[in-house]
Amino acid sequence: MNFSLAKLIRLPSYYFWHLSARVQFAIRGVKWPKHLTIKGPLGLSAIGKIELGDHITIVNDSKYNRAGINHPTQLVAGRDAILKIGNNVGMSGASIYAESSIEIGDHVLLGANARIYDTDFHPIHFQDRVAGAPAKTAAVVIGEHVWLAANVTILKGVHIGARSVIAAGSVVTSDIPEDCLAGGIPAKVIRKITENDLYNHPNSKLDNPN
Ligand SMILES: CC(C)(COP(=O)(O)OP(=O)(O)OC[C@H]1O[C@@H](n2cnc3c(N)ncnc32)[C@H](O)[C@@H]1OP(=O)(O)O)[C@@H](O)C(=O)NCCC(=O)NCCS
């Protein structure tokens, strides 16, 4: 009863944010996918190209995800850049900033405040910064079924292999292979993810909920 009432109260705001995102997409020339759920105000800047797959959920406010979102999701594609997001992707307070290319596979989960940058934004040497020289950029690829836990940062040139998991708070500076749990600063492979990680596997150390 309470749950339905809470849902009913939130209904106008869902429609409001949906409508405001539709206007933003139209102004920025980004194609609206078949199913897009937007909760809260989205930041969108598409001088380059942004492509979204189907069934995407974008959460932008901590009242819709209590894991601790600290800013609305930002999707940015700079001049000549491409940001491509696959199907069934969920994100909460993410900052995804493409100056060359960022590709996110299907079924990827981006935990609260995930940051994915394919650029350093500024050059290392101060004289280059003073001269306004461009920063280094390198394409980022996040494989399908990857999960980035809360507060993970992915830096330029990184490729995360399919089905891997990056532990909370990690900073990833180099490639992570498929099917790995990785974590730390800089992130290193901690172990392989195997069938033993399944809840219903006989060797699982986890409590079987079934
Ligand atoms: C990814 C995660 C679920 C893995 O949990 P797990 O399988 O139980 O892994 P464990 O806790 O057994 O840790 C395995 C090893 O990784 C290390 N580790 C775990 N999390 C780590 C982190 N964030 N950074 C660095 N190392 C980490 C552990 O210390 C342990 O090392 P050890 O073998 O030397 O003792 C967990 O690390 C995590 O990040 N949880 C938070 C998820 C989250 O942010 N959810 C909200 C957003 S969706």
pTM: 0.92
Query: Which CA distances in Å does 32 have to 38, 41, 98, 112, 193?
Result: 12, 16, 19, 23, 35
Q: Which pLDDT tens digits describe the chain residue by residue (210 residues)?
A: 456 777 777 777 888 889 999 999 999 999 999 899 999 999 999 999 999 999 999 999 888 888 899 999 999 999 999 999 999 999 999 999 999 999 999 999 999 999 999 999 999 999 999 999 999 999 999 999 999 999 999 999 999 999 999 999 999 999 999 999 999 999 999 999 999 999 877 777 666 555
Residues contacting ligand 1 via CB (< 6 Å): 67, 111-112, 149-150, 165, 167-170, 181, 183-184, 190
Query: Which CA distances in Å does 6 have to 14, 16, 151, 152?
Result: 12, 16, 28, 31
Residues 6+ apart with CB under 8 A from 156: 117, 118, 119, 120, 136, 137, 138, 140
CATH class of the 5-197 domain in this structure: mainly beta
**Residue ranges covered by each domain of the chain:** 5-197
Active site residue 35: no
Q: Which of 18, 55, 71, 122 is an active site residue?
A: 122
Tokens linked to 155: 């830096």
Tokens linked to 167: 């532990």
